[in-house]
Amino acid sequence: MRDRLARRLLDSKTPVAAAALVVVVVAAVIATRGLLFGPAQPEDIDARRNPFPPTADSLAIGERVYHADCQTCHGADGRGDGPQAAGMFPRPVDFWAHFGSGHTHPDGRLFFWITEGMPGTGMPGFRDELTDAERWHVVNYIKTFAPVDR
Ligand code: HEC
């Protein structure tokens, strides 16, 4: 009699336990998804407009930022051959090959990558090192490497 009662109690708890487990697993995935998949991408990433037109002033700031923070990997001429690039996989992007022939990514996406980095690669995020404006200016600057799209 007591056995039956215990079993019934247990049975009735099984769905509750299963539901609790699902909740815990889902919560764990949500909590760690930044580590697993990188930061969530905002929906409008490609639509975000660069607030700065590529004026001489903007390009001058972008160039300064680039030489301070990017050329060690991406190379002085944007060829992906900076001193830190050796042995890196994947290689830092060659901005000439990559950005030519109309294949340049939208500014909003470049800005997002420069801000958050690219998980699983050597590309670091510069959210804390550079201001929003500096990141938009460097977007303008790296686009000048492309032989087309100038
Ligand atoms: C420590 C090395 C390193 C530094 C420093 C670095 N990058 Fe990168 N970057 C990489 C690597 C490696 C990749 C390649 C990722 C890939 O192939 O998916 C990359 C990719 C990129 C991309 C993506 C290009 C594309 O179209 O896929 C952009 C844009 C970029 N970097 C811009 C910058 C800028 C701007 C800076 C400086 C503010 C910078 N990077 C600093 C290593 C670096």
Tell which atom from ligand 1 comes closest to the C-alpha of 139: 35
Closest CA to 142 of 112, 104, 115, 108: 104
Q: What is the pLDDT of residue 101?
A: 59
Q: Kindly list the distances between the CA atom of residue 108 and the CA atoms of 14, 20, 77, 91, in Å, as whole numbers in the listed order.
A: 48, 40, 23, 22
Tokens coding 126:
């510069």
pLDDT over 50 at 45, yes or no: yes
Tokens coding 118:
């690219």
* pTM recorded for the entire structure: 0.78
Tokens coding 67:
């030489």
Residues 6 or more apart whose Cβ sits within 8 Å of residue 123: 73, 92, 113, 117
pLDDT over 70 at 150, yes or no: no
Residues with CB under 6 A from ligand 1: 65, 69-70, 72-74, 84, 88, 90, 92-93, 98, 105, 110, 113-114, 118, 121-124, 126, 138, 142
Q: Whose CA is nearest to atom 40 of ligand 1?
A: 70
Q: Whose CA is nearest to atom 42 of ligand 1?
A: 123
- Residue range 1-41, pLDDT digits in tens: 566 765 665 676 666 666 666 666 656 655 555 555 566 77
Q: Kindly list the distances between the CA atom of residue 106 and the CA atoms of 50, 69, 71, 109, 149, in Å, as whole numbers in the listed order.
A: 9, 21, 21, 5, 12
Q: What is the pLDDT of residue 51?
A: 97
- Residue range 93-144, pLDDT digits in tens: 888 876 765 667 899 999 999 999 999 999 999 999 999 999 999 999 998 8
Q: What is the pLDDT of residue 96?
A: 84
Backbone region of residue 96 per phi and psi (left: phi > 0; alpha: psi in -120 to 50; beta: other values): alpha
Confidence category of residue 61, pLDDT binned at 50, 70, 90: very high
Q: What is the pLDDT of residue 104?
A: 76
Distance 94 CA to ligand 1 centre (A): 9
